[in-house]
C-alpha cells in the first residue's frame, strides 16, 4: 500500500509499499520513529483515509465497508467520552446511535464488558468522576461493544503515568486473552509491544515502510512475571537495537 500527502509539486510519500497480513485473533504492534506513518496506516485500515495505491481487505471487505458495518473498533489516544453521559451510556452509545449497523449482528452487553474491564461499580458514574486509566478502559470497552473483527488502537495508554499504564496493559492483555480479537496496536514502548504482541512490525521513516517484522515467541497466557525473564530481556534488547538503527537512519 502507498499513501502520500500534498500537492503534485510537493508530494510527500508517507507510506511506501507497506504490506501486512494480520491473522484472525492475532495481536500486532506497530513501532517506529515519529513520523514514520503509524497513525496514517491505522487511519487507512480504519477506512478514515484512502490509500493511493494498494488496498485494505478485512475479511474480504474494503476498509470503508468494514467500517460502515462496524467490523472495526477504533480506540483513540484520548478516551473521547461524552462528559454529560454516564460510563454505561457512553459505552452503550454506539448501539443507540447506530441501529442500522446492528441488523443481524451479535452485540456485546455493555454492562458485561464494563465489568470485564473492572468498571462494574463505575457504570453510573460520569467520566470526570473516573481516573484517566479508568476512562481509557471505558473507551476500550466501547470499541468492543460491536464485537468488531479487528481493533485498531493508537497509543491508547500514552497519556497515562507508568504505573497506571502497566495496569491498563495487563487489563487489556487479560481481556484479549479471553476474547481473542485481531488487534493492530500503535505504541512507542518496546516493553508494551513485547508483552502484548504476537508480532511487532518495526517501521522506518522517509518514506514510511516496514523495516522488519519481529516474532514475539513468548508463551501465553502472559502476565507481569514475563518482564523479569531472560527471554523477555533478550527480545527487548533485540527490538531496542533494531529500533535504534531505524532511528539513526531517519536522522541522516
Ligand atoms: N493529513 C495530512 N496531511 C499532510 N501530511 C500528513 C497528514 N497526516 C500525516 N501527515 C504526515 O505524514 C507523516 C506520518 O505521520 P503519522 O502521524 O502517520 O506518523 P506517526 O508514525 O504516527 O508519528 P508519531 O509517532 O509522531 O505519532 C508525517 O510526516 C506527517 O507530517
Give yes or no: residues 173 and 221 share one domain.
Answer: yes
CA distance 236 to 181: 24
**Is 62 part of any domain?**
yes
Greatest Cα pair distance, the chain, in angstroms, is 56
**Is 77 part of any domain?**
no
Q: Is residue 155 within 8 Å of residue 6, measured between CB atoms?
A: no
CA distance 96 to 56: 28
Count of domains for the chain = 2
Output the CA 86–ligand 1 centroid distance in Å: 34
DSSP secondary structure letters along 210-246: EEEEEE----SS--GGGGGSHHHHHHHHHHHHHHHHH
Give yes or no: residues 130 and 143 share one domain.
Answer: yes
pLDDT of residue 167: 87
Give yes or no: residues 159 and 233 share one domain.
Answer: yes
Per-residue pLDDT of the chain (252 residues; tens, 9 = 90+): 999 998 888 888 999 999 999 999 999 999 999 999 999 999 999 999 999 999 999 999 999 999 888 899 999 888 889 999 999 999 988 677 666 655 666 788 999 999 988 899 999 999 999 998 899 999 999 998 888 999 999 999 888 888 888 888 998 998 898 888 999 999 999 999 999 999 999 999 999 999 999 999 999 999 999 999 999 999 999 999 999 999 988 776
Among protein residues, the one whose CA lies closest to atom 17 of ligand 1: 39
Give yes or no: residues 37 and 157 share one domain.
Answer: yes
Domain end residue (candidates: 131, 147, 163)? 147
Give yes or no: residues 203 and 91 share one domain.
Answer: no
Domain end residue (candidates: 116, 147, 178)? 147
Output the CA 136–ligand 1 centroid distance in Å: 23
Give yes or no: residues 25 and 36 share one domain.
Answer: yes
- Closest-CA residue to 184 (of 63, 51, 94): 63
Give yes or no: residues 242 and 158 share one domain.
Answer: yes
Give yes or no: residues 132 and 152 share one domain.
Answer: no
CA distance 214 to 242: 10
Cell of 77: 489516544
40 lines ligand 1 (CB under 6 A): yes
**Is 198 part of any domain?**
yes
36 lines ligand 1 (CB under 6 A): yes
Give yes or no: residues 135 and 170 share one domain.
Answer: no
**Is 207 part of any domain?**
yes
pTM: 0.93
CA distance 200 to 84: 38
Cell of 54: 494498494
Give yes or no: residues 154 and 120 share one domain.
Answer: no
pLDDT of residue 104: 61
SS3 of residue 194 by DSSP: helix
pLDDT of residue 102: 59
190 lines ligand 1 (CB under 6 A): no
Among protein residues, the one whose CA lies closest to atom 26 of ligand 1: 34
178 lines ligand 1 (CB under 6 A): no
Containing domain of residue 129, as a range? 83-147
Q: Which residues, including other chains, have CB under 8 Å from residue 102's CB and lie 6 or more apart?
A: 95
Mutation test of ligand 1: which of 1, 3, 4, 5 has the most ligand atoms closer than 8 Å to its C-beta? 5
Residue 215 sits in a domain of what CATH number?
A: 3.40.50.300
**Is 76 part of any domain?**
no
Q: Is residue 119 within 8 Å of residue 138, measured between CB atoms?
A: yes
**Is 178 part of any domain?**
yes
DSSP secondary structure letters along 38-86: HHHHHHHHHTSS--SBS---BTTB-HHHHHHTT-EEEE-SS----TTS-
Domain end residue (candidates: 111, 132, 147)? 147
Output the CA 228–ligand 1 centroid distance in Å: 35
Give yes or no: residues 37 and 129 share one domain.
Answer: no
Give yes or no: residues 125 and 165 share one domain.
Answer: no
**Is 123 part of any domain?**
yes
**Is 78 part of any domain?**
no
79 lines ligand 1 (CB under 6 A): no
Strand pairing report for 199-204 and 209-215: antiparallel
Mutation test of ligand 1: which of 39, 153, 154 has the most ligand atoms closer than 8 Å to its C-beta? 39
158 lines ligand 1 (CB under 6 A): no
Q: Is the peptide bond before 221 cis (omega within 30 degrees of 0)?
A: yes
Amino acid at each position: 500500500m502507498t499513501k502520500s500527502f500534498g500537492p503534485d509539486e510537493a508530494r510527500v510519500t508517507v507510506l511506501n509499499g507497506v504490506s501486512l497480513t494480520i491473522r484472525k485473533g492475532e495481536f500486532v504492534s506497530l513501532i517506529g520513529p515519529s513520523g514514520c506513518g503509524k497513525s496514517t496506516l491505522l487511519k487507512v485500515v480504519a477506512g478514515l483515509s484512502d490509500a493511493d495505491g494498494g488496498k485494505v481487505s478485512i475479511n474480504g471487505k474494503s476498509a470503508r465497508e468494514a467500517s460502515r458495518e462496524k467490523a472495526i473498533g477504533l480506540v483513540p489516544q484520548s478516551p473521547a467520552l461524552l462528559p454529560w453521559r454516564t460510563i454505561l451510556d457512553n459505552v452503550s452509545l454506539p448501539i443507540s446511535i447506530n441501529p442500522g449497523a446492528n441488523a443481524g449482528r451479535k452485540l456485546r452487553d455493555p454492562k458485561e464488558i464494563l465489568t470485564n474491564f473492572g468498571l462494574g461499580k463505575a457504570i453510573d458514574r460520569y467520566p470526570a468522576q473516573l481516573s484517566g486509566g479508568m476512562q481509557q478502559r471505558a473507551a476500550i470497552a466501547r470499541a468492543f461493544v460491536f464485537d468488531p473483527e479487528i481493533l485498531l488502537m493508537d497509543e491508547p495508554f500514552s497519556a497515562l503515568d507508568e504505573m497506571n499504564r502497566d495496569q491498563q496493559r495487563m487489563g487489556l492483555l487479560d481481556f484479549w486473552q479471553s476474547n481473542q480479537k485481531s488487534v493492530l496496536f500503535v505504541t512507542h514502548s518496546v516493553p508494551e509491544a513485547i508483552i502484548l504482541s504476537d508480532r511487532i512490525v518495526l517501521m522506518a521513516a522517509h518514506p514510511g515502510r516496514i523495516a522488519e517484522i519481529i516474532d514475539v515467541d513468548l508463551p501465553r497466557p502472559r502476565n507481569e512475571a514475563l518482564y523479569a525473564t531472560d527471554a523477555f530481556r533478550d527480545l527487548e534488547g533485540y527490538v531496542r537495537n533494531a529500533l535504534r538503527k531505524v532511528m539513526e537512519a531517519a536522522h541522516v
